Structure 1
Amino acid sequence: MRNLRALVEYDGTNYHGFQRQPNAITIQEVLETSLADLTGEDLEIIGASRTDSGVHALAQVVNFKTESPIPIEKFAFAWTNVLPDDILIKKVEKVSWDFHARYFATGKIYEYHILNQRLPSVFERNYTHHIKKKLNYKDLVEAADYLVGTYDFTSFQAAGCGANTTVRTINSLTVQGIDSKLIFRIEGDAFLYKMVRNIVGTLIEIGQGKLNKDNLVEILAAKDRTVAGPTAPACGLRLIKVKY
């Protein structure tokens, strides 16, 4: 019996998030079904991040325990071969028996991509949030700094979150402009349910002039989801890295 850790890339467009659900297709279900086909075992996949419906991942981390004799150096290739084209196993390695993809994680990095131009893009529609009106880049960069640090992020927590505490630490939050694309990159110890998308939705309102950066202090202090901006669409979000 081995405890294996896998690095998984996926396009979340056609899935109802990572975590298995009774009446919807999810990344976890497809991974577990494909593993059963590959190994003949009924295995449980543990994921580092429970990405939402439509959210993508470049480097989701999962682990599972298996008795399969497939050589470790061939496991990623063999597993990818029984998966649909929108899920890829990038790496598989043996880890300690007690390793847990979610509980051992010390931090996560996400990116949110916005296409900020008059016309949308056919090729970017599933991977960026299109905003026609020009956003104020300077205001976005300055506002992002206000959220770096350790705070109670209740105002950016969606309903249904089961976290024991709403205090989180954001280590960095940057905004990069590349042609007509804006890329928000956020690193933190952990995130509340839809926290990243709620933060981005609020920053968008600042970029549109509906809020100003000083409002972020009031929003954090209010500990009230209704005072923050809307939830940005899932398509623009991607999990970039899980840190251990």
Structure 2
Amino acid sequence: MRNLALFLKYDGTAYHGWQVQKNACSVAQTLEEAAADVVGHPVHMTGCGRTDAGVHARTYVANFRTESRIPVDRVAYALNTHLPADIVVTGAREVPLGFNAIGSCVRKEYTYQIYNSRIRDPFFVNRAWFYPKHLDEAVMQEAAAQFVGTHDFAAVRSVGTDVKSTVRTVYYFDVERRGELILLRVCANGFLYNMVRAMTGTVVYAAEGKIRPQDIARILESGNRTAAGPTVPPGGLYMTHLWYDDGEVAFDA
């Protein structure tokens, strides 16, 4: 038995997220079907996280077990011949049997893109959130910094997957403007359902003057989802960096 880790990237626009769904097309299902064609048996793919419908990954790690002896340097090429154009496997590696794409992952980074311009750009449709009112990135950074540290993030979580705890550690939350594009990069030891999109909405609330950056600590303490900002659209969100506990399977976009 071999355990193969796959490195991939995908445009999530056409998919109902990563996780296999009963009545909707998902990235995992598409990848499992391609892998089954390559190795000649049913495959269960374990992904590094449950990206939501419409969310993208500039980097993603998945793993599966197989008895196939296909050379590891041929795996990516073989899979890509069976995959649609919006999912690409960039590499593969044989890993220990105990490796698990999600369980072995110790940190993740997501990046949210806002296209901050008075005029819409068609090339950013489903790639960034179009926001026509000017946003002050300095205020956004002040607000984003309030999320850094170990907190209960229930106030920026949508109802969804059950978890034992809503406490997470955010290592950084950086805001950068590149012309009309604003990038919000956040790294944590784990994320709750819609957490990044709700954090982004809260940072935008601060830039709009609806809350003060220093109010965010109080909002987190309250655990009140309605006190925080909205959950922004999925098309601006990308998984961009992963860290693993063996230090060997870190991957950057």
Worse-matched range after superposition: 206-215 or 151-160: 206-215
**Structure 1 equivalent of residue 113 of structure 2:** 113
Whether 1:92 and 2:92 are equivalent positions in the alignment is yes
The 5 A counterparts of 1:33-44 are: 33-44=33-44
Aligned-residue identity in percent:
38
State the TM-score, normalizing by the size of structure 1. 0.98
Any unmatched runs of 5+ in structure 2? 245-253
Displacement of 1:38: 1.4
How big is each residue's C-alpha offset from its partner over 1:61-80, in whole Å with a ceiling of 9 and x where there is no partner? Answer: 10000111211111111111
Once residues 120 and 205 of structure 1 are traced to their aligned partners in structure 2, the CA distance between those partners, rounded to angstroms, is 21
Residue of structure 2 equivalent to 1:233 = 233
In structure 2, distance between residues paired with 1:9 and 1:213: 34
Q: Any idea what SS the aligned residue of 1:184 has?
A: strand
- Residue identity opposite 2:176 in structure 1: Q
Q: Does residue 131 in structure 1 map to residue 93 in structure 2?
A: no
Quote how far apart the aligned CAs of 1:161 are: 2.8
- Are 2:219 and 1:219 equivalent residues in the alignment? yes
For 1:19, the equivalent position in structure 2 comes to 19
Counterpart amino acid of residue 8 in structure 1: L
Task: Give the whole-Å Cα distance in 1 for the aligned partners of 2:142 and 2:225.
Answer: 22
Amino acid at match of 2:201: G
Q: Which residue of 2 aligns with 1:67?
A: 67
**CA offsets per residue over residues 108-148 of structure 1, 9 Å max, x none?**
01100000000111111111000000012211011111111
CA distance in 2, matches of 1:115, 1:164: 36
Alignment of 1:154-173 (within 5 A): 154-173=154-173
- Cα deviation, 1:153-182, whole Å, max 9, x if unaligned, reads 010111023111000000000000000010
Aligned to 1:79: 79
SS in 2 for 1:106: strand
Q: How far apart are the structure 2 equivalents of 1:2 and 1:161?
A: 30
Superposed structure 1 runs of 4+ greater than 6 Å apart: none
Residue in structure 1 matched with residue 102 of structure 2 by the alignment:
102
Report the count of equivalent residues.
Answer: 244
| 1-structure distance, mates of 2:81, 2:207 | 44
SS at match of 2:125: coil
**Is 2:148 aligned against 1:141?**
no
* 1:174-213 superposed Cα distances (whole Å, 9 cap, x missing partner): 0000000100000010011110000001111111111110
The C-alpha deviation readout for 1:22-59, integer Å capped at 9, x for no partner, is: 00000000000111111211010000110000000011
Q: Which residue of 2 aligns with 1:175?
A: 175
Query: Which residue of the partner structure matches residue 32 of structure 1?
Result: 32
**TM-score for the superposition, normalised by structure 2:** 0.95
RMSD in angstroms over aligned alpha carbons?
0.7
Task: Supply the distance in 1 between the matched residues of 2:136 and 2:73 (Cα, whole angstroms).
Answer: 48
Aligned partners of 1:40 and 1:119: how far apart in 2? 50
Letter matched to residue 168 of structure 1: R
For the residue of structure 2 that corresponds to 1:140, the secondary structure is helix
Letter paired with 1:19: Q
- Amino acid in the other structure paired with 2:159: A
Task: Say which SS state the counterpart of residue 123 (structure 1) adopts.
Answer: helix
Q: 183-192 or 134-143, which moves further after superposition?
A: 134-143
